[in-house]
Chains A and B, each alone.
Chain A
Amino acid sequence: MLEAILVMAFGALVLGAALGYAAVRFRVEGDPLVEKIDAILPQTQCGQCGFPGCKPYAQAIAKGEAEINQCPPGGEEGIHKLADLLGREFKSLSAEHGIEKPKSVAVIDEQVCIGCTLCIQACPVDAIVGAAKQMHTVVAPLCTGCELCLPPCPVDCISMQSTGESVENWKWKYPVVKINPAQREST
């Protein structure tokens, strides 16, 4: 009995001291995982995931506090990438956070706009230019299509227009296959 306690006590002292020392000395600062997750998120900054932007959502995923299927703009594609990165199982997009929509940009009806600047304040990427009491304009290539500027507009002059197909951005379609359904789509 005494030997047992002595032997174990000796071990415990050594280990405890070493571990305590290690824990303090080598605590890992920062989290590269967040950066990796953030790199996958589409940066629409729309908040549909339930977090105020993509970075906070990335932090939540890294901490294990959020599921990976809450970002509608990222779509199934994004979820697959997150699942790969984190080694989790794929889950289809959570319906309560919205649905995948074709990419679109905001357009301000210049006739109606009263120049209230409310949309400028709402836009997370500063894609709207204009000043108080002047007509505002959306800089289309900067607009992420987050729709955050729609609700604040007092005269409802902002609408979303889908960015159509042109010869430049046209994509070859998935070959029409009768036998092998698209792997990822059917899950």
Chain B
Amino acid sequence: MSALQRLFKFHGGVKPAYNKEASTGLPIAVAPTPTLLVIPLHQSIGGMPRPLVKAGERVLKGQRIGGADGNASSAVHASTSGAVVAVEMRLMPHTSGLSALCVVIEPDGRDEWIARQPFDFRKASPTQTRDYLRDAGVVGLGGAVFPTHLKLNPGKHGKLDTLVLNGAECEPFITCDDVLMRERAETILKGAIIMREMLSARQVLIGIEDNKPEAIAAMEIAAQAANQAAGDLAMQVVSVPTRYPAGGAKQLIRVLTGIEVPHGKRSTDYGVQCFNVGTAYAVYEAIALGQPLISRIVTVAGNVGQARNYEALFGTPMRDLVALCDPLPDSDRVIMGGPMMGLLMPGDEVPVVKATNCVLVGSRKLFPPPPPEMPCIRCGECAKACPADLQPFEMYWFSRAKIFGKAQEYKLFDCIECGCCAYVCPSHIPLVDYYRFAKSEIWAREVDKEAADIARERYEFRLLREEREKQEKAAKLAAKTAAGREKAAAAIAEAAKPAATPEDDTKKALIAAALERAKAQKEQVHPGNVSNLTPEQEAEVTAIEARRAEIREMAKPHLRQDD
């Protein structure tokens, strides 16, 4: 069947040593429940979920402990039943070594589920289904942890051509998708059927790298069964050439359909959507079984005696998983993810989270420190390897010198940080580190710039107000000396009444809009010290705001002159 499929090529890519055999020898094992689960609240892209539990509460397995903050967020659940010990800052599985809010649960060993009910998505509206998935905490398990419910939207045309299931798993060492496909192919496809219906997709293409024959065979059988049941040929397993990063969503979509989805565009606008096979599995579990996402398959590999895939509860310390696999004595680091894109962990006590597809144990021997960085000789190897068709050395040249504008001109933000360029560079330049640095500096700068714009508006407004007050005082003084108090009021009214002309109005509207924006921004970033005010304080604040509004009104006529 796969022979029928016409394949396309993506530019670049590399072929590192794959090292996948070690962890595919044994079937998936269930990792034991640890003595303490540390579940970070923020596990996916999007808003930080609000904690729904307090220390001392008892929770059941699958109970929601973090509620999605708005639609662009995803809920978090207790991985097992037990007592909430604390809701506090704990070390995150993040390179920064910083802490964030986590719910710490002491399992009671009973593993007691909440009441589970299948969700009949055929009866529900698409929005309801998406809300359900959001509250079930289903996010992409391919690595990017993007909330799945946001992607399960067919977009402006209301239907899609192709749903791509990503079983490529191109990173070395990682085999969690491979074993999942071998062992639970049918379930994955059941999930895919649900997704296909939600997206009204014509066909489902399952892309698997051709170095996973067992997985291809298993998926092939399941697909045929599914097609027979449905009476069409919608499900197709496609074996794609093994080349990193064939599993990148854009690359896989390109290989399977020939479509290139540009940076910053929704792939649904091009008639395709891509999900990881694990995600499809999780969707099935959530919809058909009513089980929220509380565990995933994690490959433990690298510098260990027995690499293997485990089904691990979120919150399990990585250390516990590593311990199951006989780590070798010279191990010196834990990496979350693969050797090409994985993140270095600040310690091995950090918990497994939704993004943890692999716990890679490293050593000096396995991952030797890179030779000293030499200057770039513009050899172009990196450009040859870049799957995004970028000019990595130009982005590096300007990132290194902190000329970020130029780096952006070379499309820095199209870089998917796959690491191919750094992998091939004969000068051993940590290219991706430069891009990460440049990107975060640029983001920080945007934030600063927004803050500066608000400050400018507020400052100019204040100047205006002061000017106004001065005039007011002068007017008052004049009025006082000239006549009685009543007349003073009249004078103020006079001064405040502008000779409004049409062109003033547009200007006024502009300024009002700007002020409105500033206000909106302020509300958005509502700080803790304002929200926790006592009622009296709040009354005060309201009063001040009212006064400000008043002054704003009075200031309007002066805006024209000042401009």
Determine whether A and B are in direct contact in the complex, meaning some CB atoms lie less than 8 angstroms apart: yes
A45, CB-defined interface residue at 8 Å:
yes
Given contacts A54-B456, A171-B440, A172-B440, contact A130 B544 (CB under 8 A): yes
Q: What residue in chain A is nearest B463 (Cβ atoms)?
A: A53
B453, CB-defined interface residue at 8 Å:
yes
Residues of A within 8 A of B454 (CB): 125, 142
The reply to whether A178 and B98 form a contact with Cβ atoms under 8 Å apart is no
CA distance A131 to B543 in the complex (A): 9
A147, CB-defined interface residue at 8 Å:
no
The reply to whether B375 and A42 form a contact with Cβ atoms under 8 Å apart is no
The reply to whether A183 and B401 form a contact with Cβ atoms under 8 Å apart is yes
Interface residues of B in 435-468 (CB under 8 A from A): 436-437, 439-441, 444, 447-448, 451-456, 458-463
Central interface residue in A53, A129, A131, A177, by most chain B CB within 10 Å: A129
B15, CB-defined interface residue at 8 Å:
no
CA distance A53 to B454 in the complex (A): 15
Q: What residue in chain B is nearest A80 (Cβ atoms)?
A: B402
Residues of B within 8 A of A41 (CB): 452
CA distance A164 to B83 in the complex (A): 31
CB B370 to nearest CB in A, in angstroms, measures 11
Residues of B within 8 A of A4 (CB): none
B42, CB-defined interface residue at 8 Å:
yes
The reply to whether B451 and A144 form a contact with Cβ atoms under 8 Å apart is yes
Q: What residue in chain B is nearest A172 (Cβ atoms)?
A: B436
CB B408 to nearest CB in A, in angstroms, measures 14
B374, CB-defined interface residue at 8 Å:
yes
The reply to whether A175 and B437 form a contact with Cβ atoms under 8 Å apart is yes
Q: What residue in chain B is nearest A121 (Cβ atoms)?
A: B466
Given contacts A125-B462, A170-B96, A182-B402, contact A144 B455 (CB under 8 A): yes
Interface residues of A in 89-122 (CB under 8 A from B): none
Residues of A within 8 A of B502 (CB): none
Given contacts A130-B540, A134-B537, A179-B372, contact A170 B98 (CB under 8 A): yes
Residues of A within 8 A of B94 (CB): 167, 170
Residues of A within 8 A of B402 (CB): 182-184
Given contacts A43-B459, A184-B401, contact A137 B529 (CB under 8 A): yes
The reply to whether B437 and A180 form a contact with Cβ atoms under 8 Å apart is no
Residues of B within 8 A of A169 (CB): 444, 447
Category for how many chain B residues contact A = 35 or more
Q: What residue in chain B is nearest A123 (Cβ atoms)?
A: B462
B116, CB-defined interface residue at 8 Å:
no
B433, CB-defined interface residue at 8 Å:
yes
A8, CB-defined interface residue at 8 Å:
no
Residues of B within 8 A of A44 (CB): 455
Size of chain A's interface in residues, with CB distance under 8 A? 42
The reply to whether A141 and B458 form a contact with Cβ atoms under 8 Å apart is no
Q: What residue in chain B is nearest A76 (Cβ atoms)?
A: B402
Residues of A within 8 A of B92 (CB): 167
B373, CB-defined interface residue at 8 Å:
yes
CA distance A167 to B437 in the complex (A): 15
A126, CB-defined interface residue at 8 Å:
yes
| Cβ proximity bits A137-175 to B, threshold 8 Å, 1 near / 0 not | 111111010000000000000000000011101111111
Given contacts A42-B452, A129-B540, A165-B96, contact A142 B522 (CB under 8 A): yes
A135, CB-defined interface residue at 8 Å:
yes
The reply to whether B533 and A173 form a contact with Cβ atoms under 8 Å apart is no
CA distance A137 to B436 in the complex (A): 37
Given contacts A130-B540, A134-B537, contact A139 B455 (CB under 8 A): no
CB A97 to nearest CB in B, in angstroms, measures 19
Residues of B within 8 A of A137 (CB): 529-530, 533, 537
CB A32 to nearest CB in B, in angstroms, measures 13
The reply to whether B433 and A167 form a contact with Cβ atoms under 8 Å apart is no
Q: What residue in chain B is nearest A107 (Cβ atoms)?
A: B529
CA distance A44 to B544 in the complex (A): 23
CB B455 to nearest CB in A, in angstroms, measures 4
Q: What residue in chain B is nearest A182 (Cβ atoms)?
A: B402
Central interface residue in B94, B447, B453, B537, by most chain A CB within 10 Å: B537
| Cβ proximity bits B114-155 to A, threshold 8 Å, 1 near / 0 not | 000000000000000000000000000000000000000000
A124, CB-defined interface residue at 8 Å:
yes
B525, CB-defined interface residue at 8 Å:
yes
CA distance A175 to B435 in the complex (A): 10
Please pick, from A135, A139, A171, A182, the residue contacting B537 in the complex, using a CB distance under 8 A. Answer: A135
Please pick, from B98, B374, B447, the residue contacting A167 in the complex, using a CB distance under 8 A. Answer: B98
The reply to whether A129 and B439 form a contact with Cβ atoms under 8 Å apart is no
Given contacts A142-B458, A165-B98, contact A126 B548 (CB under 8 A): yes
Given contacts A43-B452, A125-B462, contact A174 B525 (CB under 8 A): no
Given contacts A129-B544, A173-B437, A183-B401, contact A139 B98 (CB under 8 A): no
Q: What residue in chain A is nearest B536 (Cβ atoms)?
A: A134
Residues of A within 8 A of B375 (CB): 179-180
The reply to whether A139 and B522 form a contact with Cβ atoms under 8 Å apart is yes
The reply to whether A179 and B373 form a contact with Cβ atoms under 8 Å apart is yes
B527, CB-defined interface residue at 8 Å:
yes
Residues of B within 8 A of A125 (CB): 454-455, 458-459, 462
| Cβ proximity bits B83-99 to A, threshold 8 Å, 1 near / 0 not | 00000000010101011
Q: What residue in chain A is nearest B530 (Cβ atoms)?
A: A139
CA distance A94 to B60 in the complex (A): 62
| Cβ proximity bits B19-44 to A, threshold 8 Å, 1 near / 0 not | 00000000000000000000000100
The reply to whether A139 and B433 form a contact with Cβ atoms under 8 Å apart is no
* Selected A-B contacts with CB under 8 Å, 24 pairs: A126-B458, A129-B541, A130-B541, A131-B543, A131-B544, A137-B533, A139-B527, A139-B529, A165-B96, A165-B98, A166-B98, A167-B92, A167-B94, A167-B96, A170-B96, A170-B440, A172-B440, A174-B437, A175-B430, A175-B437, A179-B373, A179-B374, A182-B400, A184-B401
Ranked 6 nearest A-B pairs via Cβ? A43-B455, A172-B436, A43-B452, A171-B440, A125-B458, A175-B433
Given contacts A41-B452, A55-B459, 4 further A-B contacts (CB under 8 A): A42-B448, A45-B459, A172-B440, A183-B402
